[in-house]
């Protein structure tokens, strides 16, 4: 892959690696997803353009959506205990940094020890920039961000760390739940293969809870989640020269009891054709047909224990929020 290096600001060093070929990948993924049969799909990782990131910020403050606040409570209360489980000098890498608000607690807890590198890894430049702005004032932290896919970024971080340094990988917010089926365990195995024995993963996971609570969380009264979902079509129109008519798609969020996942879809309100110019495809949609845009898996404790083992980790400790069942798991690579 080809990178450009951009450097800005004084204070903590802020560098950003920019891959040259993201547009291409986006077009290919959209093309592949919309040609899938029988169920059309679009990857949820493309939700987070500037508008999508801003809408997710609003979602995280909605009364119906307790997930983000739950993890904020956990990290604000327990960050010190979490980092105290790690011995050596630590290098922090975060997959999908978001705004960095939750991460602040972990980074500040590390400040009692030694100056620490923090590497947010993001495909969304707007999210990366927001995270750098949010965290640049923490005095003991040097931020070096990577604009890349999660594991490509992690490979870079792992290659640069010193022999004596322990990696702490943050994968917060239950983003792991966006991988469907076996993809999550496959991802965790690949992540593990980049780590050394003794490295740590702090994994946030949303827990099973009553179906009504879940359905409400993804069908909020203000309609922000619907806007977040439909914004994906707007992004495809803008960046890939497509002609989605947003008035002809509605937001749908359902709970799939078999897979323990909330699924978000975009439902076509009529029989229609859509052309995605830069992806080189025209697709037809039947009346009522859906495009599957997100899976949000909900975990049991037993499932998380099994996942740790299968991926090559020892479950070291966990912290659970009771108000909105959510768990932060500290796993150690073995």
| Residues making contact with ligand AVJ (CB under 6 A) | 59, 67, 173-175, 177-178, 218, 225, 228, 294, 296
Task: Give 128 or 141: the residue with its C-beta nearer to ligand AVJ.
Answer: 128
CB of 107 to ligand AVJ, least distance (A): 20
CB of 69 to ligand AVJ, least distance (A): 12
Task: Give 145 or 173: the residue with its C-beta nearer to ligand AVJ.
Answer: 173
Task: Give 110 or 169: the residue with its C-beta nearer to ligand AVJ.
Answer: 169
Q: Name the residue whose CB lies closest to ligand AVJ.
A: 296
Residues 6+ apart with CB under 8 A from 324: 66, 67, 69, 70, 209
Residues 6+ apart with CB under 8 A from 293: 41, 42, 44, 47, 229, 232, 264, 265, 266
CB of 263 to ligand AVJ, least distance (A): 10
Task: Give 174 or 184: the residue with its C-beta nearer to ligand AVJ.
Answer: 174
CB of 181 to ligand AVJ, least distance (A): 15
Task: Give 60 or 166: the residue with its C-beta nearer to ligand AVJ.
Answer: 60
Q: How far apart are CA 198 and CA 194, in angstroms?
A: 12
**Residue 242 per-residue DSSP state:** B
CB of 173 to ligand AVJ, least distance (A): 5
Q: How far apart are CA 24 and CA 5, in angstroms?
A: 20
**Residue 176 per-residue DSSP state:** G
Of the candidates 194, 188, 99, the one whose C-alpha atom is nearest the C-alpha of residue 152 is 194
Phi then psi dihedrals of residue 50, to 5 deg: -60, -45
């Amino acid at each position: 892959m080809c990178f450009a290096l951009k450097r800005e600001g004084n204070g903590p060093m802020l560098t950003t690696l920019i891959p040259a070929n993201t547009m291409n990948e986006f077009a290919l993924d959209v093309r592949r997803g919309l040609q899938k049969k029988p169920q059309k799909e679009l990857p949820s990782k493309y939700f987070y353009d500037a508008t999508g990131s801003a809408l997710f910020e609003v979602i995280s403050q909605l009364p119906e959506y307790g997930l983000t606040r739950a993890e904020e409570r956990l990290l604000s209360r327990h960050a010190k205990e979490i980092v105290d489980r790690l011995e050596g000098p630590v290098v922090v890498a975060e997959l999908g940094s978001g705004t960095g608000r939750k991460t602040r607690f972990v980074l500040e807890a590390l400040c009692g020890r030694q100056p620490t590198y923090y590497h947010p890894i993001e495909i969304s430049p707007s999210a990366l920039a927001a995270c750098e702005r949010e965290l640049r004032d923490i005095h003991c932290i040097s931020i070096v961000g990577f604009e890349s896919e999660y594991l490509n970024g992690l490979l870079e971080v792992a290659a640069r760390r010193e022999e004596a340094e322990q990696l702490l990988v943050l994968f917060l917010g239950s983003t792991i739940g966006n991988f469907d089926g076996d993809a999550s365990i496959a991802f965790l195995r690949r992540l593990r293969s980049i780590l050394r024995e003794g490295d740590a993963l702090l994994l946030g996971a949303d827990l099973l809870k009553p179906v009504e609570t879940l359905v409400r969380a993804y069908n909020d009264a203000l309609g922000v989640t619907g806007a977040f979902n439909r914004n994906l079509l707007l992004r495809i129109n803008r960046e890939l020269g497509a002609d989605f008519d947003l008035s002809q798609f509605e937001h749908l969020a359902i709970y799939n009891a078999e897979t323990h996942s909330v699924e978000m879809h975009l439902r076509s309100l009529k029989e229609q054709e859509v052309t995605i110019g830069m992806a080189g495809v025209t697709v037809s949609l039947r009346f009522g047909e859906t495009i599957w845009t997100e899976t949000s898996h909900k975990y049991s404790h037993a499932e998380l224990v099994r996942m740790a083992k299968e991926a090559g980790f020892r479950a070291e400790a966990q912290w659970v929020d009771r108000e909105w069942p959510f768990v932060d798991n500290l796993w150690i690579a073995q």
